[in-house]
Amino acid sequence: MGTYNYNDTTLYNLRMLYEQMGYKRFKMSKFEEYDLYLEYKKFLSTENIITFTDLHGKLFALKPDITLSIAKNAKPGEAQKLYYKENVYRASRETKEYKEITQLGLEYIGDIDAYTLGEVVLLAARSLKAVSTDYVLDISHMGFVSALLDTTQLSDSRKEKLIGFLGKKDTHELLSSCEHYGVEPETAQRIAMLSEIYGDFESTYPRIRELVVTPAMADAAEELKALYDFLKASGEGEHINLDFSIVNDMSYYNGVIYRGYVESVPCSVLSGGRYDNLLKKLGKDCQAIGFAVYVDILELYAKYEKEYDVDVLLCYDKGVSPIKISEKAAEYTSQGKTVKVLNSIPEGLKYKQLVAIKEGV
């Protein structure tokens, strides 16, 4: 069993993790022109956008997403390593009510080679590790999926329908639709087999190799293997799974995509991937990859996990030296414990340990 330890310092620790690897903080306005979100609505994780008209009659939106704004401001030819901690405005996935939600994420925009890909995905894995010692990062590859679907000669709209069934692991509808669309039975079986692949990388990867029928699929499979070797060498191998039910919009995503999970939370708390196609739609000749951490989900389940309000309640007599109180508090915080210093015990406060500091003791 792992330890779910999301708390007030987790976001700070994640920011330090990114800054140690040379990522600079990106800041933006609360507002963005609504046209940007309207044109690229399919890229967003929410369809509900809060809009307003400014004093000049122009329609703006309270930003529901950061990645789209970063992509819009990308400068081709210049590698950009960015992270953000911003508030976005959207309906909560849990409560369905509009909320101001803290969003934390990381983006790399520029030429992406094997190291860059590995670095970003490694930081995704280590972001999960900062929350729980029991975590898993599920990885897929839209290039592999797209290349397999290209062999069907179907229209993009029909391919997207098949991708929808693949994401739901709905083999019955997948095969039924393939038959209806006239897809060759052997190809239909390959697509169906893809929906059933899930598990630790080393045991599932040979099954991926068996499905390869085009050079593009072979290239995607080799990229996955090289990425896994990088992550394994970095100590993350046992936390990596293959899951080809992880799919996304082909018109935006084109390479490795992934989702992260931690113990005690029944849904993903991190997602990301390579989205070169979005940059192309924005007229940017560059590549991009990143991920977002779902802070609202982490905060919600931290409430469920939290048995105590504080590790140590430090209660002191009024005559005790402030220096002595401070030294005692530092003794516990240096051990990684949370400390609340008060001169009386409040009603209802839950603490693991009570430490009394008395005058003259």
The two structure tokens encoding residue 44: 């967003």
Query: Which homologous superfamily is 10-304 in?
Result: Bira Bifunctional Protein; Domain 2 (3.30.930.10)
* Helix (H/G/I), strand (E/B), else coil: 84: strand
Beta strand 135-141 with 240-243 is: parallel
CA atoms of 159 and 179, how far apart (whole Å): 13
pLDDT at 38: 73
> Which residues are CB-neighbours of 126 under 8 A, at least 6 positions away?
17, 236
Residue 347 vs residues 141, 344, 350: alpha-carbon distances, Å = 53, 10, 9
Distance, in Å, from the CA atom of 174 to the CA atom of 192, rounded to the nearest integer, reads 7
| In contact, 290 and 253? CB cutoff 8 Å | no
- Residue 1 has a pLDDT of 54
Question: 152-163 burial string, b = 16+ CB within 10 Å, else e?
Answer: bebeeebbbbbb
Pairing of strands 256-262, 270-274: antiparallel
Q: What percent of the chain clears pLDDT 70, i.e. is strictly above it?
A: 94
Burial class (CB in 10 A: 0-12, 13-18, 19+), 229: middle
Q: For residue 2, what pLDDT band results from cuts at 50, 70 and 90?
A: low
Average predicted confidence (pLDDT) for the chain: 89
Enumerate the domain spans of the chain: 10-304, 308-357
pLDDT digits (tens, 9 = 90+) for 22-46: 999 988 777 777 777 777 777 776 6
Structure tokens at 31: 């507002």
pLDDT range class, residue 325, cuts 50, 70, 90: very high
| Residue 243 near residue 197, CB atoms below 8 Å | yes
Q: What is the pLDDT of residue 306?
A: 63
